[in-house]
Structure 1
Amino acid sequence: MFDDIRPYRDDEVVKVIESLINEKGLQASIASLKMPRLYQSLPALACSIVKWSLKFRAQKFHSIDEIQMEVAKYLHHLIKNSTAGFSFSGIDNFDNTKPALFISNHRDIVLDVALVNLALYKSGISTVEAAVGDNLLHQPWVADLMRINKSFIVKRSAESKRAMLNASKQLSAYIHDTVANRKQNIWIAQREGRAKDGIDKTNAALISMLLLNKDKQTPIADYLAELNIVPVSISYEFDPCDSDKAIELAEKEATGSYKKQEGEDLKSITQGLVGQKGRVHIEFCQPIIGDYADSKAIAAAIDKEIISNYKLYDSNLVAHAALNQQDTDNSMLAQLNKRMENLTAEQQHWLLTMYANPVIAKQTL
């Protein structure tokens, strides 16, 4: 029932890894990133080196947990080199002996869920199965790479309304079965696509999808108790992709649309991972329990938790002050100006706006 979307299991690891090692697209992607000069001049040699390296390193992987342990090592290294400190709190806000459906704001394609996982891992709690949209999985091997690291597929490219409804029903059933029956934590973003403008708002359609699997006789309160929704608020002092997001937002404002360049998602993933983020904080919020009228009411409750627990940094406060022409911290303003030096006036306005919007959201709670 779920074989086309579920993560891979331990008994599938060796076969999938073998397939990935022989995948030319993966070899080329790693070679171009790790040894760009050699790849440019001698691509076949560079890919051969990558294949040999993957084969050597992959010998120790026979289970999903072993892969996750390796990912955790990489994350520790990444946090050390690309942040000015990572903190988390709120683990005591929910019963972590029960599986949960974590719903977080969405700022970074890969890092959001990776940081949630790191916080859980450090707290001795089982890591999540993570939702990933098929719009990011342009090649089958990319899907394999995600599914071998506890990701499940969200079908967003169905061609008809009927196909989309069937995909939504399958996803709803999968999420409920995973949390309520298989007792496995899940993570999903509060909306499709990153909040490029800094406005963290849960899409009510996401909640409607979660409720598709609920039968008519089951009260919403009972179904929410089974899903155990725990909102998560993720705060970045700086966004490594802020300039790119500002350019996109300005173009959308000017022309009404924005067309992604080839490889833009991969660039955003890489930049989000390795770019400097300043301080990063994750807050696990109070679970969403009780009786709600509908999906919109549940989405609003999630928003309230995420916004009220969002950690404001000087980057947010100074950007808000600058937009309102108020006196502010000159050292932080200088840092923001440095990030904007190659942007037009319209793009600069959008960059400041994305940092200021969390301040506005808190003021209007």
Structure 2
Amino acid sequence: MSPFEDIRPFYDTEVNDAIKEIIHHPMLKAMMNFTFPDASDEYWKDLMLHCHSIRDFQINFIYPAVQKVLEKSSEGLSTSGFDKLEKNQSYLFISNHRDIILDTSLFNASLYENGLSMTTTAIGDNLVKKPFLNSLSRMTRNFTIKRGLPARELLESSKVTSAFIKNALLRENRSVWIAQREGRTKDGNDETHKGVLKMISMASEEENIIDYFKSLNIVPISISYEYDPTDVLKMPELLAKAKSEIYVKGENEDFFTLLNGIMGQKKRIHIHVGNILNEEIENIGAEESNPNRQFQAIADLVDRNILSGYKLWPTNYIAHDLLFGDNEYQSMYTEHEKEVFEKRFRKGVDTNDPMAVKSFLAMYANPVNNQKRGLKEIID
């Protein structure tokens, strides 16, 4: 039995049986009716029952679904930097993370369009507790990260996850996508957590961590949405954080957020692929021998690259000017764009609550400040 049995995606040999188990599920019917609105159920069911690999399932069903989502809820996806990637090379993509499903779905669709292999992708097990979602996740090559474990179990689980990532990258030559921190960024501050890097390094087997990280070919990914489709849904947690209160999720909150992320309006979306960080990581090893400071330096390096590749939209500049009560970035947006943003803002936020106003605007404004600060650090 595989040491990764509890977290791994399906093998290709398991895909057809998994399809047979969910083929009559009402959620699958809803997905396929959305994806193929002019086709009969018999059409897509027959096509799906002849599917025998993850790649077939992704290309024939997930990719068209992503295209339909873009058509219905966005003004298009643009990309940059994919030409830096080589077809037969595996990469550890460390990405900022805004939307539960779309971030990785859009990224894999972009890899496919550029003739590159799609990734195996980290997803929290809290998002796939329902049997149907678990099967769908495993059929799209996701591996699960276990959440909320006691300290000892968390350590063992982290070791297994780290070994899975190493096996995918160095033995299977399969690229891996992982978020720069646990869970999604809700306040617009994209920051790499050292804990993620330490988890990844657990499989290094006494190897120098600098050499190990170089072997993984780390590439930072920046994804930005002009409108966050779940911005209003993030408000309760942001307000609890602002008041130093513990936030407890509702029973179906993740699922509700997942659906809103898929169908909510996003306007324009951009994905940027950064440079492979091997040279910079080698320089960190030459300048710093303390492992803890090496982890922090690598985290800072990933942050700078994600921030520099992050595309700022008119919504970011509008929020910044509204938050700070000035017109510093007035040239970056039109009056119409400002009116549309303010209408959305007033509809979703209690404007009589100063903390709610500040939290919502900061969600969009923080990337402006962070990119400005990051570029200043590079110049200095």
Matched, 1:21 2:27: no
Aligned to 1:202: 192
Matched, 1:76 2:81: no
2:229 pairs with 235, 240, 245, which one?
A: 240
Counterpart contact for 2:32–2:44, Cα < 8 Å: no
CA apart distance, 1:118: 1.2
CA distance in 2, matches of 1:240, 1:251: 20
1:333 pairs with 328, 334, 338, which one?
A: 338
CA distance in 2, matches of 1:121, 1:109: 20
The 1:134/1:239 distance shift into structure 2, 3 A limit, reads same
Matches within 5 A, 1:143-222: 143-158=134-149, 160-216=150-206, 218-222=207-211
CA distance in 2, matches of 1:357, 1:133: 25
CA apart distance, 1:54: 7.6
Q: Deviations over 1:191-246 (max 9, x none)?
A: 11111101100111000001111122x22332122211111000111111111112
CA apart distance, 1:338: 1.2
Percent identity of equivalent pairs = 36
CA apart distance, 1:97: 3.1
CA distance in 1, matches of 2:228, 2:336: 18
Counterpart contact for 1:233–1:306, Cα < 8 Å: yes
1:257 pairs with 225, 246, 249, which one?
A: 246
Aligned to 2:4: 2
- State the secondary structure of the residue aligned to 2:144: strand
Structure 1 residues not aligned, in runs of 5+: 36-49
Matches within 5 A, 1:40-55: 55=45
CA apart distance, 1:258: 2.3
- State the secondary structure of the residue aligned to 1:312: coil
Matches within 5 A, 1:282-301: 282-289=271-278, 290-291=281-282, 292=284, 293=288, 294-301=294-301
Q: Deviations over 1:104-140 (max 9, x none)?
A: 1000000001111011111000001111111212233
CA distance in 2, matches of 1:54, 1:68: 14
Q: Deviations over 1:2-61 (max 9, x none)?
A: 122111011111211222236xxx53x5678999xxxxxxxxxxxxxx998985553232
Counterpart contact for 1:129–1:185, Cα < 8 Å: yes
CA distance in 1, matches of 2:22, 2:141: 16
CA distance in 1, matches of 2:324, 2:298: 33
CA distance in 1, matches of 2:161, 2:178: 11
The AA in structure 1 aligned to 2:120 is: E
Counterpart contact for 1:134–1:157, Cα < 8 Å: no
Matched, 1:317 2:317: yes
The 1:96/1:65 distance shift into structure 2, 3 A limit, reads closer
CA apart distance, 1:183: 0.4
Aligned to 1:38: none
CA apart distance, 1:186: 1.0
CA distance in 1, matches of 2:44, 2:72: 24
CA distance in 2, matches of 1:189, 1:238: 20
CA distance in 1, matches of 2:218, 2:345: 38
> What is the number of residues matched between the two proteins?
345
2:350 pairs with 327, 344, 355, which one?
A: 344
Aligned to 1:116: 107
Counterpart contact for 1:21–1:51, Cα < 8 Å: no
CA distance in 1, matches of 2:357, 2:236: 9
- State the secondary structure of the residue aligned to 2:249: coil
Aligned to 1:40: none
CA distance in 2, matches of 1:252, 1:348: 14
CA distance in 1, matches of 2:13, 2:364: 45
Counterpart contact for 1:246–1:348, Cα < 8 Å: no
CA apart distance, 1:269: 0.9
Matched, 1:60 2:60: no
Across the aligned residues of Structure 1 and Structure 2, the Cα RMSD in angstroms comes to: 2.2
Q: TM-score, normalised by structure 1?
A: 0.88
CA distance in 1, matches of 2:5, 2:244: 42
CA distance in 1, matches of 2:30, 2:243: 34
